[in-house]
Structure 1
């Protein structure tokens, strides 16, 4: 990950909520918040990559104390400017390694944000960091895409996902390293600009191994927040891993 002036600086923060308006709609937010609130129970929630508060704010409105970790000062400033934003505790730092005080009953990482960690080691470190923050019986929830490699014809590397009169966007995959990047061409007043953000895609089974290395076990995997079955055709998954209650590794 890069510093707050890099990929998620003011140039992204200023338009993030508008660019991702569909993800701020009630039908996208409410099912996620409902599941997270249930898992939190009477405990605290830790959001990795809290951003502008898309999930943290409505979760806090349900009475769940939320603390966030984020690398971007610009994104956190947008969170702070919203009603209730000052009630969300935020620690600035890389969520793969940054520690905060106390323990949590649920930690979560949504909307493909895990892929902002661009190496396997960083993703493993993230699972270990979360495990250290969870209380016994606590859960770690990740929402992330299933890699769309089946869309790649032989010899191709790019998959377009947005084509319009003022924006073209496409993902580029390196199947040898699992590196990928999203590229955007925007046209404003007849002038074009180009931006690119690196990611690392990750498979569900690989995540299960990362969880195992961190001492967590898979509790459930869904095809979405509403509880859809996870199948070979699912484009994303919402996975829940649990920290054992007892030292012998047995859960509740």
Structure 2
């Protein structure tokens, strides 16, 4: 009656303890079976063996070259083809550059030839121009020489007309400018755009009648009229007894 009564909780604890001991014994036995004579586990021994074999295999692989594969041969052929293609492309490019250079040289030669031709033409033209100017100067020199008429009147035709010729006692119309000292820069004394009179009737100064002889309509003539054929000693703006300088264009001659 004095013994303590066991309850279900104590029984469960004992059962769990026994079960743990069994598992522990099994685990210890398994570990002992996996160890070799040196006390190392079989897994460690196996791993070291595998590593040694792998190291030996790698050494043999490094010592002997790997055989060429089909893929390597294909890559080598592709490289050769690519090199040939680049070589052909380079050759074509060089040929193209040579053609371009030849064309450039030909164009430069053509331009040079044209330039020389133009220079020659220009030189010939300049020579011809100088020759014409020389001839023109000679002709002008001869033309610029005033011709003398009666009473000291002189005339110079700037333009020879091709219309009807003046006639005595026929009415004519002229455009004129009268200057002092010269025909170009002298002071303008008198001028008219349409002056009419009858030639040789004494309606104008004698130098006018004398100076217009032989003119045709459309002609332009310069006159130098001295005082004896003009206004004598009267001063009309050019000074007493001064020569008078007329430039006259014949506009009309009555039929």
TM-score, length-scaled by structure 2: 0.16
- The higher radius of gyration belongs to 2
- Identify the structure with the greater helix proportion: 2
More strand by share: 1
